[in-house]
Each structure stands twice: as C-alpha cells, then as structure tokens.
Amino acid sequence: MHPYTSIAEQFAPFKRVLYVHEFGNGNINDTYLVTTDADEQMQPEEKHFVLQRINTQVFKQPRLIMQNMRTFTEHMRRRAREEGHCWEMPRVIPTCEGQDFFIDPQGNFWRAISYVHGSRSYETIKDTKLAYEVGYALGTFQYLISDLPIERLADTLEGFHIMPRYLQGFDQAFSHNGYKSSAEVKYCLNFVEKRRAFASVLETAREQGRLQLRPVHGDPKVNNVMIQESTGRAISLVDLDTVKPGLVHYDIGDCMRSGCNPLGEETEDWEAVRFDPEIGAAILEGYLTQARHFLTPADYDYLFDSIRLLTFELGVRFFTDYLAGNVYFKVKHPQHNLQRALVQFKLTESIEAHEADIRHMIQGMVSPAL
Ligand code: GN1
Ligand code: MG
C-alpha cells in the first residue's frame, strides 16, 4: 500500500483507493495520480483524480489558492457554457467532511482536483499543430477569465513574475554565498549584469499605465495544456495555483519560452538550446485567435519583450536558487538549478538573435487586427 493511500481516501468517500502514483514533474508541489475502484465507463471522472501536497514554503497561504480556485473555475465554467466553448475546468474534490483540503497530522496541506478525463499533456512541442493548440489554450483561458474583476482574486504568491524583485533576490543570494566560481557561473553572472536595465521593462510599463493588471494563469507552460486524445484539440489548462492578478505578458512570455524550446527546460545539452521561430509563430497564431478579443494596441507593443523577459526571468530564478543553495525549486542534484539556468540563458540569447524576425512575425499577425 502506498504511504499516501489513507490521505487519498480522505477525498474518496465510498470508494476504495487502488493505486497512488507520482505524477508529472512539478518543481514545487508534490503531485500524485490516484486510481479508485470506480467503474471506468460509468464514473470516468471518479476513476482517477489528482492529489497534491502544496509546498507551503512557497505558497504560504494555501487556503487562498482554494478560495481563488472556487471563484474562477465557477466563473470560467459558466462563461464557457454560455459562449459554447468546448473547454473543461478541473473541479475541486472535497474531503469526506466537505472541506476543500485536508491537513495531515504532520501539518501537510493536501488537496484533490479532478483529472481532465480523456486528455494528456506533452513535455515539449514537436509540431506546429500542437503549438497552435498550446497557444489556443492560453488564449481561451485568458479570454474566459478576462471579465472576472481582479479584486475577486487573492494574491497567492506575492512578487511572482515581478522581475525587479527577482533581481534583488539575486543580488542578495550573490552577496551571501560560497558558490564555486566555475566558467558556467561566470557566464551566468555576466549574462545577468548585461541585462539589468532591460529587467524592469514590463513593470515600468505597468507603472506608467501602459499595461494593466488582469487575471492571469501565471504558469502556462506546455505540460500544463491538456490535449483531448480523441480530437488532438486543447481542452484545458491546468496547474491553477498562480491564477491571480498580473500582466497577460507574464503568460504569453512563459508559454513561448516553454513552447519554443524543443530540447525542453531539463536538457543537459544546454549549449544546443535554440528558440524555434516556426513553433513560436504557430503558438502566437493559436493564441491570437482568442486574445484578439481583449488585447489593446499597447499590449501588442510588449509581446516581443515579454518573450525575452520571461525567459531571462526564469534563468535568473534558477540561478539565484543555485546560489542560495537550492531552497525553492526541487532538484535532483546540486548543479541542477545551474544547468536549468544555463538552458534559459541560452534560450534568451537565441530569442535576442531572432529579435528582428520575431518582431516582424508579430507585426504581420497583428496589423490586420489593428
Ligand atoms: C515552477 O512547479 P511547476 O513546474 O509547475 C514555477 C514556475 C516555473 C516552472 C519552471 C510557483 O512550476 O514559475 O516557470 O517551475 N512555479 C512557481 O519549470 O514558482
Ligand atoms: Mg506550476
């Protein structure tokens, strides 16, 4: 019996839990797929569900996550139904006592959500059809949540995607640490120094009133897009802990940095990492079919910067965590965050090298709409 079977049972009254397997490869929370003895044909939704232990070092107020989830999933489900979108939102599964979460005797915070039946996700994008669907998923998500007033969403992770704050964190980690100064570390330090001025581009635009806060997903990387197996179409965007007020640019930048890197963010071959412009064009095309309805002209002006910035940002976050002794992201070995930082920095370099093409591509897609 898996050690977490009894925890899974808290969320499965009247059923027997058959298996609990580790699921996905999240860097923050611990995720398990639970299989129950429910009948696959009769109760497909109850056969499997996702059990997660929230990392409360990162998410200090996990109750706020559950509260937000109730608010926006209900809102988005209703809007999807009213407008005829074929779209699924994961459901919060209550405990036997009707709570949204379970706290175990050690004080761990557990919650369960439904698995989007008949769907799967991919770690990287290999063709433009999937790329289009990934972009479409983000556009649909942002569209369905776009009329939810931001005041209704709590801030579940303060400072998330605020790049100037990540740079402060980097400076602190750098001044306090005893890292070994290898050639890779020097490359990273130099890389960050050269881009300091650029780091505030989105926050400055927000302060100047050029960009506005909206409800955003926060973590729309490729493997959070659920693709319906029977049709190959995107049906959901999961991993909803960071849905909160933000800039839509955080999402599009994150989606592009994750989608346009065919080697994936975990590759050891960091020197070979490249941005794939064809995949990028297909993601943006899918995204804009939905996002056209709510993007402003100023939003378009910052699309290129967002792709470059979010990639750079994740590199800085990984590198800072390496310098700080791997305290935020889960790691498999002590150099893991350094390797991940190098991947993102190489990708940033490639995005910079393609700047003219990417800007041209964006221009070509938006001009007819403006
Ligand atoms: C973290 O845990 P996961 O993989 O869903 C991180 C994201 C990063 C991502 C990189 C709350 O997400 O911001 O883009 O790793 N989530 C948080 O893989 O920091
Ligand atoms: Mg996540």
Residue 343 maps to which CATH number? 3.90.1200.10
pLDDT number for residue 158: 97
Is 334 in the same domain as 232?
yes
Residues 155, 246 within the same domain: yes
What is the pLDDT at residue 178? 66
Of 292, 205, 304, the closest CA to residue 252 belongs to 304
> Can you tell me the distance from the alpha carbon of 40 to that of 49, in angstroms, rounded to the nearest whole number?
12
Residues 198 and 318 in one domain: yes
From first to last of the 370 residues of the chain, give the pLDDT tens digit.
788 999 999 999 889 999 999 998 899 999 999 999 999 888 887 899 999 999 999 999 999 999 999 999 999 999 999 999 999 999 999 999 999 999 999 999 999 999 999 999 999 999 999 999 999 999 999 999 999 999 999 999 999 999 999 999 999 999 876 667 899 999 999 999 999 999 999 999 999 999 999 999 999 999 999 999 999 999 999 999 999 999 999 999 999 999 999 999 999 999 999 999 999 999 999 999 999 999 999 999 999 999 999 999 999 999 999 999 999 999 999 999 999 999 999 999 999 999 999 999 999 998 754 4
Q: Which residues form the domain of 62?
A: 5-117
Do 68 and 134 reside in the same domain of the chain?
Answer: no
Closest ligand 1 atom, residue 330 Cα: 2
Residues near ligand 1 with C-beta < 6 Å?
Answer: 26-28, 58, 157, 219, 221, 239, 242, 254, 265, 314
Ligand 1 atom with least separation from CA of 224: 5
- Pocket test of ligand 1: the residue of 23, 28, 123, 347 to mutate, having most ligand atoms within 8 Å of its CB, is 28
What CATH number is associated with residue 103? 3.30.200.20
- Distance, in Å, from the CA atom of 22 to the CA atom of 54, rounded to the nearest integer, reads 14
Residues 245 and 201 in one domain: yes
Report the separation in Å between the CA atom of 49 and the middle of ligand 2, taken as the mean of its atom positions: 17
**Domain limit, last residue, from 84, 117, 150:** 117
The confidence score (pLDDT) of residue 25 equals 86
193 shares its domain with 279: yes
- Among 96, 117, 138, give the residue marking a domain's end: 117
**Closest ligand 1 atom, residue 161 Cα:** 13
Q: Are residues 109 and 155 in the same domain?
A: no
Instruction: Give domain status of residue 272, yes or no.
Output: yes
Nearest CA to ligand 1 atom 9: 27
What are the distances in angstroms from CA 19 to CA 3, 239, 251?
10, 22, 34
Pair (243, 103) in one structural domain: no
What residues pair up with 22 in beta bridges, in sequence order? 32
pLDDT at position 368: 56
Q: Which of 66, 83, 117 is a domain's end point? A: 117
Residue nearest to atom 12 of ligand 1 (CA): 27
Let me know whether 97 and 133 are in one domain. no
**Separation of 350 CA from ligand 1 center, angstroms?**
22
Number of domains in the chain: 2
77 and 185 both lie in a single domain: no
The string of pLDDT tens digits covering residues 303-317 is 999 999 999 999 999
Task: Please report whether residue 122 resides in a domain.
Answer: no
- Which ligand 1 atom is nearest residue 157's CA? 11
Residue 123 falls inside a structural domain? no
Proximal ligand: closest to the CA of 336: 1
Sorted by sequence, the CB contacts under 8 Å of residue 308 that are 6+ apart come out as 198, 253, 348, 351, 352, 355
Among residues 151, 348, 143, the alpha carbon closest in space to that of 237 is found at: 143
Q: Same domain, yes or no, for 211 and 312?
A: yes
> Do residue 98 and residue 212 come from a single domain?
no
